[in-house]
Chains A and B, each alone.
Chain A
């Protein structure tokens, strides 16, 4: 009896304490995340504007139809997809290479780790600004090097040429965030038991075989994480294009978030901007669910 009473009072105290610990966070999450997110879904079906004397009307799916029928939006979405298709494999590969390089026990390797990681300490806004100057066609460093290597034959007008502007933006993205992936890979590499390498080395497995049959399978979850995070990052592309090109030339670096910004903020159309935001969110949701599904598969197999 006494024990039961004691455990009940313990429980009540827990419930009271829980309230105290949770309340501030719960209110903030509700007001600044759940409510605005639900509003995004709700307003995407209305003609809501930021400032307007006209009453707000229910529009059904009109905002979605107009967004998906807008060639500018489709072009922007295409750019996000193109960015993902190129940057995800390139950046993942480069980050893995860096992680393997700095995971060796060689003198001076720590310095290289610091250097590869450094760009992450520069705000994207600052990085995009510096790179904008490196890309200047006549006196920029990149064309200086290209001109020297090709005797002046290759001199693209990086940020003003439709065919290379997105590539220029991709390079900045890779420069800034490869260090992040490298660190995640490094943590993954260090979780692989050293014995596996030593044992296979004794069995005569070469470096490539060890990479193929020990490193890659050992990094499976890390790879899934990095691929999904980088893909989501590709769909969230905003800072670099906002600073370097504002989506130009001729929409060749436009992105979904830049469309959302133009429609929802510059044109003050909250309803249509919310529709773009919801479509953007659906992409993020699908990628995140794919990640969770992919990870769970592993759990079942093991």
Chain B
């Protein structure tokens, strides 16, 4: 450790007050306010870059379709100059938004819940049980993390065609339940969980399943939240696989729906914006409500490797 030398007392006293705030109080308010102007200007400018497409989408969805294009090149693109809900109706009528939404909900909810169960069981077995071939299995899981879906999508399409599973829900759910990266996340989480309670339960005669369900699962909410968020995003946003798997709107999910809708003549930009808004809303709401869990979940994917 090449730490710079300070006494413990200095560190402790300095740590109590965040440095910027302490500066704010000790120095004159004016010089500090002046110093903060460039920082806030930069943050606001960047915020515009990230937030304007959202505003454009929501405002566009509420405007008569003709105005979406006509007012697109001025500040009016972000002002609801005239409000109508016609576009939302159009998205349901012309792009069968309702059916696509139900499809996405079915596919995503089953993939996420199935994945949480299967991957946590697998990770728990790797972390807690002693059995032959365990080291090999851990090595295999770590190696499998590297293989992206795209590397085997084409032969998997061939397999699905052989068993007549194209255009079904199960072909969009089953392949994405077991996931080596989520297994690895659960495995490392359970490894770092203190064993004492589980051992006490086993001594009291509880079986492995009871111990897992009653003790390990309730203590592992962060791991489950992380996997739920990551697999929700992956499943809800999936585009390539549904293109290969589905032929019509019957079992098609939302991302492919919008890809098709935005080429469907005559192009109705207002309705496309309404589609995009309704498609984004669930994720956005989940994020805004569970901000901290969401961001922590994403940060945890940095464990990879």
Contacts and interface: CB of A to CB of B under 8 A. Distances in A.
B68 A133 contact: yes
A105 B18 contact: yes
B47 A116 contact: yes
A264 to B, nearest CB: 4
Interface string B8-22: 001100110011110
A198 B122 contact: no
A28 interface: yes
Contact of B208 (A17, A118, A119): A17
Interface in B121-153: 121-122, 124-125, 129-132, 134, 137, 144, 146-148, 150-153
B91 interface: no
Contacts of A13: 208
B144 A274 contact: no
A125 B154 contact: no
Contacts of A119: 50, 53-54
A196 B298 contact: no
Contact of A39 (B47, B50, B159, B287): B159
B240 A14 contact: no
Contact of B177 (A28, A106, A179): A28
B259 interface: yes
A202 B6 contact: yes
Contacts of A273: 154
A178 B4 CA distance: 33
Contacts of B283: 121-123
Contacts of A104: 20, 39
User: For chain A, which range describes its interface: under 10, 10 to 19, 20 to 34, or 35 or more residues?
Assistant: 35 or more
A114 B14 CA distance: 29
Given A184-B298, A239-B240, A273-B154, A118 B119 contact: no
The A interface, classified by DSSP as helix, strand, loop or mixed, is helix
A196 B4 contact: yes
B151 A281 contact: yes
A199 B10 CA distance: 9
A250 to B, nearest CB: 20
Contacts, number: 324
B101 interface: no
B193 interface: no
B154 A264 contact: yes
B50 A121 contact: no
B112 to A, nearest CB: 15
A139 B215 CA distance: 60
A94 to B, nearest CB: 8
Contacts of B69: 133, 136, 139
Interface of A: 11, 13-15, 17-22, 24-26, 28-29, 32-37, 39-40, 43, 48, 50-51, 98, 101-102, 104-106, 109, 112-127, 129-134, 136, 138-141, 143-144, 147, 175, 178-180, 183-184, 186-188, 193-203, 222, 225, 228-229, 232, 236, 238-239, 242-243, 257, 260-261, 264-265, 270, 273-274, 277-278, 280-281, 284-285, 288, 291-292, 295
Given A20-B209, A98-B46, 18 more contacts: A15-B130, A17-B125, A22-B137, A39-B152, A43-B158, A118-B50, A122-B54, A123-B254, A126-B258, A131-B53, A134-B56, A141-B56, A141-B74, A196-B3, A196-B4, A197-B19, A265-B154, A285-B146
Interface of B: 3-6, 10-11, 14-15, 18-21, 36, 39-40, 42-43, 46-47, 49-54, 56-57, 60, 68-74, 77, 118-119, 121-122, 124-125, 129-132, 134, 137, 144, 146-148, 150-159, 161, 174-178, 180, 183, 207-209, 212, 233, 236-237, 239-240, 243-244, 254-256, 258-259, 262, 269, 272-273, 276, 279-280, 283-284, 286-288, 291, 295, 298-299, 301-302, 304-305
